[in-house]
């Protein structure tokens, strides 16, 4: 059967050159089902659809080039909206539990009983181990510093951490999240994920744990952010879940990523005293105004819109409104989280910890995707610019 005329096809030699492999390797790919060959009337040899070849380029490590595109079924960012597996996150944040959204990201299903009576379990012995690990951190260490230590120790204590079967990875992720929340300094809470987390962050009473539940859902994933790419690279090397999360936490620690919430919190704190003076000082510094604008969204950050609406009226909301009126940009999720922190007297490092815990759900989802791909498929093309060998 001749190939369709509306699709571009490559010869075996062209495919081999594109993949940087021998022709024999191309035929091996055909036998393994990675490529499909067709015959053309009047021509000798096989032909291969260029689109199929390009997909293989993004998967194979038999070539030295960088992977420029990563196919994922998890998160879509389009038209100033955010979707998890095709479902609007603004709706998920107000209608689904954190555990259900984790199930959606991990397996694509929120309906079946994924978790039983204790969605994110916190076995006492594991919680005690995590608390002991966190206690090693020096006085004044941030919550994210303590989380990184705890994740490493919990990983070392799990003899089955190298079991990368999907059910095993999901079970480890549920347990890791439950243990980390329970081990954080502060009173233990009961109820939803946000209810357990609230007393760790705030002394304000009464609490509004539904805000933390919604914020966790809103921050769980955001496509191929830098920390998520780091997590996927680790998973590509078949690192276990704890190592994957550690890789994500390492990238998250940069001041341009995870710490952005803290910068927004500090700026909003000054703005609550006098928004015009705070804004004037910030503009005079020549640095961007923390918590405003976004590289992905053009007119609004849907995560911020949901969380600020849930916060409702009050002095913090009024300050945010004043700032928004005077700036050409729009509030992003960092400012929305900072607003929640100020409204309910959260500890100053709570935003980063919330981000890390929420994103652990997303990193797990991306790890599960990556474990299903060929191993070690990430290899950037290095261009040597040093002195020539003499």
Q: The domain spanning residue 243 has which CATH number? A: 1.10.580
383 to 61, 91, 386: CA distances (angstroms): 17, 45, 9
Answer whether residue 84 is part of any domain.
no
Domain count, the chain: 2
Q: What pLDDT is attached to residue 137? A: 96
Same domain, 151 and 280: yes
Same domain, 266 and 338: yes
**Can you read off the two tokens belonging to residue 197?**
């987390």
Answer whether residue 323 is part of any domain.
yes
pLDDT 10s digits, 187-218 = 999 999 999 999 999 977 678 999 999 999 99
Q: Does residue 92 contact residue 101 with C-beta atoms inside 8 Å? A: yes
Among residues 325, 205, 331, the alpha carbon closest in space to that of 268 is found at 331
Q: What pLDDT is attached to residue 18? A: 86
Same domain, 123 and 46: no
Answer whether residue 389 is part of any domain.
no
Same domain, 122 and 251: yes
Same domain, 26 and 171: no
Instruction: Using pLDDT thresholds of 50, 70 and 90, give the confidence band for residue 116.
Output: low
Answer whether residue 265 is part of any domain.
yes
Per mean pLDDT, which range of 16-20, 123-127, 189-193, 255-259 is the poorest? 255-259
Answer whether residue 31 is part of any domain.
yes
Q: Does residue 342 contact residue 269 with C-beta atoms inside 8 Å? A: yes
Q: Does residue 176 contact residue 240 with C-beta atoms inside 8 Å? A: no
Q: What are phi and psi of 248, to 5 degrees?
A: -65, -40
Residue written as token pair 């539990």: 97
The residues facing 38 across adjacent strands are 47
Same domain, 39 and 151: no
pLDDT 10s digits, 213-249 = 999 999 999 999 999 999 999 999 999 999 999 999 9
- Dist CA 248 CA 176 (whole Å): 14
Residue written as token pair 């769980």: 220
Answer whether residue 89 is part of any domain.
no
The residues facing 48 across adjacent strands are 10, 37
Query: Could you tell me where the DSSP H helices lie in the chain?
Result: 12-19, 23-31, 50-57, 89-95, 98-107, 124-134, 143-156, 166-183, 193-201, 209-219, 226-236, 241-252, 260-273, 275-285, 302-311, 315-326, 333-343, 350-371
**Can you read off the two tokens belonging to residue 205?**
């009473």
**Can you read off the two tokens belonging to residue 100?**
């259900």
Helix (H, G, I), strand (E, B) or coil at 201: helix
Q: What pLDDT is attached to residue 109? A: 80
DSSP state of 112: S
Q: What pLDDT is attached to residue 205? A: 67
Q: What pLDDT is attached to residue 64? A: 47
Answer whether residue 95 is part of any domain.
no
Same domain, 181 and 256: yes
Q: What percent of the chain has pLDDT over 90?
A: 71
In terms of residue numbers, what domain contains 353? 114-376
**Domain termination residue (choose one: 39, 57, 75):** 57
Answer whether residue 365 is part of any domain.
yes
Q: What percent of the chain has pLDDT over 70?
A: 91
- Dist CA 216 CA 356 (whole Å): 10
pLDDT 10s digits, 50-90 = 888 887 776 654 444 456 678 899 999 999 999 999 999 99
- Dist CA 285 CA 47 (whole Å): 60
């Amino acid at each position: 059967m001749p190939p369709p005329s509306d699709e571009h096809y490559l010869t075996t030699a062209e495919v081999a050159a594109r993949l940087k492999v021998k022709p024999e390797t191309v035929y091996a790919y055909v036998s393994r089902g990675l490529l499909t060959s067709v015959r053309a009337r009047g021509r000798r040899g096989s032909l291969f659809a260029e689109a199929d070849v390009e997909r293989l380029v993004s998967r194979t490590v038999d070539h030295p080039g960088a992977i420029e595109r990563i196919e994922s079924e998890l998160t879509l960012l389009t038209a100033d909206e955010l979707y998890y597996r095709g479902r609007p996150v603004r709706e998920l944040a107000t209608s689904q539990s954190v555990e259900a959204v984790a199930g959606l990201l991990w397996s694509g299903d929120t309906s079946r009983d994924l978790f039983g009576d204790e969605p994110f379990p916190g076995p006492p012995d594991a919680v005690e181990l995590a608390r002991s690990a966190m206690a090693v951190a020096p006085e004044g260490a941030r919550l994210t510093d303590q989380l990184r230590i705890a994740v490493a120790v919990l990983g070392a204590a799990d003899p089955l951490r190298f079991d990368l079967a999907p059910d095993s990875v999901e079970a480890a992720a549920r347990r890791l999240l439950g243990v980390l929340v329970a081990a954080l300094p502060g009173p233990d809470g009961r109820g939803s994920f946000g209810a357990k987390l609230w007393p760790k962050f705030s002394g304000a009473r009464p609490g509004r744990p539904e805000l933390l539940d919604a914020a966790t859902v809103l921050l769980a994933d955001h496509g191929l952010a830098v920390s998520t790419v780091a997590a996927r690279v680790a998973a590509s090397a078949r690192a276990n879940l704890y190592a994957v999360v550690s890789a994500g936490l390492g990238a998250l620690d940069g001041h341009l990523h995870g710490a952005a919430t803290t910068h927004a919190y500090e700026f909003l704190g000054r703005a609550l005293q006098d928004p015009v003076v705070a804004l004037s000082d910030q503009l005079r510094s020549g640095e961007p105004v923390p918590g405003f604008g976004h590289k992905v969204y053009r007119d609004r950050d849907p995560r911020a819109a949901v969380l600020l609406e849930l916060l409702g009226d009050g002095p913090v909301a009024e300050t945010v409104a004043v700032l928004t009126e005077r700036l050409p940009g729009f509030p992003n999720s960092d400012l929305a989280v900072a607003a929640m922190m100020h409204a309910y007297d959260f500890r100053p490092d709570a935003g980063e910890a919330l981000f890390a815990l929420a994103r652990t759900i997303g990193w797990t989802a991306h790890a599960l995707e990556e474990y299903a791909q060929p191993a070690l498929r990430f290899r950037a093309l290095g261009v040597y610019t040093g002195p020539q060998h003499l």
